[in-house]
């Protein structure tokens, strides 16, 4: 994804930003979580995905996992928010 | 382009757990939908085996529905209505034309005329576009097989074509027998055409020949001499059929006078009872009929009727009788001419009157095959 590379470069030090995971939100209807470590919860209201160092929670209404592969999870629906849950 | 996928419906609430295991096993999951106690999702064909292994290990029942390519094509067409309409119309047109036969192919004939076979097809109304349901293949096969020279016929429909294949009868073995008899004239004529297949023509065009004359000799001439060769060929000539009528002005004709006399005799066991009665006229016609019969035919009464005949002098009126007579004799003349003769003109009439006798001669000139090898009658 070139634009992610672009974002990295804007921080001036791409190596420092070698990502463990990435969350891309497109409008309020689609979310792409790359670098996932496993699906934790799937429901119509929330999708929780494990990532390195914690979990990412996408919440909203009528959520659907459009695709899930080893690298990424693509969620669509009416997304109200995305939050990072840190492991204790 | 999406690859074919299989949709699974599994009765589990632990959707995330199952998805996680599947993803870990390298299976990409698509379109996860959650229902009450049921999770549905799709996987690509390549991931089916791994997923099945997981479901089996987890003892999870599943319903599989293959997402047909057709379904995707349908949605593709829905998004392109003009293209879809054109496709549907093309399919309909193709299906419509598949219902018709609009080409015929005739093969296998060398001697049997293609037009003859085509005429049979025409008789069965196979011309231009013909609905396949109207093509009576067995009947056509039977009619084509019945043609002269056809020993076997195959008729079938292939696509839009009606294929007629025939096997012809082998030439008669008689024609292959070599004959060293000369070809002779069957009747007197003036030669108009000679086609010698074998042997040496003995006459040329314009020659007058009589019945029995040699037309083609069974010899072959070459530089060192002559050799025998079967005489074969066709010879045509112009010949004249003739009918003569002699009509005297006065003739004597034996005619019935109109006087008749009936005599009855009794027969018992076939024997006439009483004296045999002499005929009442010196010249007569006689007719007999049984008028009574008893005891199984042992007793019969037979009536004999005598019709008197006498010679009478008849005076002919030529002007009155001639047209009808010529018409009648012309018909007789034409009926005596073979059907394969080709006319070269109409019937000509010659009349000559000598000593109160009218001579009439009818002539009818035709061209026909006259060699002895041809005898269709």
Q: Each residue of A54-63: pLDDT tens digit? A: 899 999 999 9
CB B288 within 8 A of CB B301: no
Q: How confident is the model at residue B134 (pLDDT cuts 50, 70, 90)?
A: confident
Q: Is A29's Cβ below 8 Å from some Cβ in B?
A: no
Cα B347 to Cα A64: distance, rounded to the nearest angstrom:
105
**Coil, helix or strand at residue B56:** helix
Distance between CA atoms of B150 and B147, rounded to whole angstroms? 6
Dist CA B186 CA B12 (whole Å):
106
The answer to whether ipTM exceeds 0.90 is no
The residue-averaged pLDDT of B142-165 equals 86
Residue range B271-276: mean pLDDT, rounded: 80
Shortest Cα–Cα distance, B51 to chain A (Å): 13
Residue with the bigger pLDDT between B295 and B192: it is B192
Closest approach of B90 to chain A, Cα-based (Å): 37
Chain A contact for B28, CB < 8 A?
yes
Q: What pLDDT, on a 0 to 100 scale, did the predictor assign at position B67? A: 65
A24 touches B at CB < 8 Å: no
What's the pLDDT at B377? 52
**Nearest CB to A64 within list B19, B26, B32:** B32
- The correct CATH number of A20-86 out of 3.30.390.30, 2.60.40.2000, 1.10.540.10, 3.40.50.720 is 2.60.40.2000
Q: Which residue has the higher pLDDT, B239 or B223?
A: B239
Task: Judge contact between B363 and B241, C-beta under 8 A.
Answer: yes
- The CATH number that domain B100-168 falls under is 3.10.20.310
Q: Which fold has domain B5-73?
A: Alpha-Beta Plaits (3.30.70)
Q: What's the pLDDT score for residue B149?
A: 81
What is the structure's pLDDT at B305? 92
DSSP codes, chain A:
-HHHHHHHHHTS-TTTT--S-EEEEETTTEEEEESEEEEEEE-SSEEEEEETTEEEEEEEEEEEEEEE-SSEEEEEEEEEEEEEEE--
CA A65 to chain B, closest CA, distance in angstroms equals 5
- CB contact under 8 Å between A69 and B29, yes or no, is yes
Name which of B63, B21, B24, B67 is nearest B44 in CA terms.
Answer: B67
Instruction: List chain B domain ranges.
Output: 5-73, 100-168, 180-233, 243-249+316-369, 253-313
CB of B22 within 8 A of CB of B51? yes
Measured at the CA of B49, the angle between CA B2 and CA A69, to 5 degrees, comes to 50
Is A61's Cβ below 8 Å from some Cβ in B?
Answer: no
pLDDT at residue B308 in the model: 92
Pick among B2, B32, B54 to test the A interface (most A CBs inside 10 A): B32
Q: What is the pLDDT of residues A19-47, one digit of tens each?
A: 678 888 988 899 999 988 888 899 989 99
* Dist. CA B153–CA B176, nearest whole Å: 25
Mean pLDDT of A4-17: 67
CA angle A27/A28/A29 to nearest 5° reads 95
A5-19, B155-169, B196-210: range with lowest mean pLDDT = A5-19
pLDDT digits (tens, 9 = 90+) for B177-231: 566 888 899 889 999 999 888 888 889 999 999 999 999 888 887 777 777 888 8
């Amino acid at each position: 994804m070139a634009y992610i590379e672009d974002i990295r470069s804007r921080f001036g030090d791409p190596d420092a930003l070698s990502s463990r995971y990435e969350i891309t939100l497109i409008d309020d209807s689609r979310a792409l979580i790359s670098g996932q470590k496993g699906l934790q919860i799937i429901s119509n209201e929330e999708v929780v995905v494990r990532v390195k160092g914690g979990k990412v929670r996408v919440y909203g209404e009528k959520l659907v996992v459009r695709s899930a592969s080893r690298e990424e999870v693509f969620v669509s629906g009416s997304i109200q928010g995305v939050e990072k849950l840190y492991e204790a | 382009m999406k690859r074919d996928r299989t949709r699974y419906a599994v009765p589990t609430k632990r959707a995330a757990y199952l998805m996680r295991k599947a993803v870990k096993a390298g299976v990409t999951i698509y379109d996860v939908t959650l229902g009450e106690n049921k999770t549905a999702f799709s996987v690509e064909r390549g991931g089916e085996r791994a997923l099945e292994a997981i479901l089996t290990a987890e003892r999870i029942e599943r319903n599989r529905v293959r997402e047909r390519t057709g379904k995707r094509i349908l949605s593709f067409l829905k998004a392109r209505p003009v293209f879809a309409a054109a496709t549907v119309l093309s399919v309909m047109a193709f299906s419509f034309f598949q219902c018709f036969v609009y080409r015929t192919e005739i093969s296998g004939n060398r001697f049997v005329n293609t037009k003859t076979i085509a005429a049979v097809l025409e008789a069965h109304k196979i011309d231009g576009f013909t609905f396949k349901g109207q093509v009576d293949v067995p009947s056509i096969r039977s009619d084509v097989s019945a043609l002269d020279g056809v020993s076997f016929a195959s008729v079938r429909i292939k696509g839009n074509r009606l294929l007629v294949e025939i096997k012809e009868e082998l030439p008669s073995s008689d024609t292959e027998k070599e004959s060293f008899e000369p070809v002779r004239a069957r009747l007197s004529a003036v030669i108009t055409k000679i086609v010698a297949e074998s042997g040496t023509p003995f006459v040329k065009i314009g020659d007058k020949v009589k019945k029995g004359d040699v037309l083609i000799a069974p010899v072959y001439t070459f530089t060192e001499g002559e050799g025998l060769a079967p005489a074969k060929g066709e010879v045509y000539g112009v010949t004249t059929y003739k009918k003569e009528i002699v009509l005297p002005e006065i003739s004597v004709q034996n005619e019935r006078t109109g006087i008749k006399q009936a005599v009855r005799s009794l027969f018992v066991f076939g024997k006439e009872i009483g004296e045999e009665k002499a005929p009442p006229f010196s010249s007569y016609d006689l007719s007999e009929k049984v008028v009574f019969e008893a005891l199984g035919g042992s007793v019969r009464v037979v009536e004999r009727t005598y019709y008197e005949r006498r010679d009478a002098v008849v005076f002919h009126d030529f002007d009155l009788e001639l047209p009808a007579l010529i018409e009648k004799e012309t018909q007789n003349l034409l009926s005596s001419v073979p059907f394969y003769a080709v006319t070269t003109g109409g019937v000509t009439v010659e009349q000559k009157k000598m000593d109160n006798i009218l001579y009439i001669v009818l002539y009818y000139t035709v061209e026909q095959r006259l060699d002895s090898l041809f005898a269709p009658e």
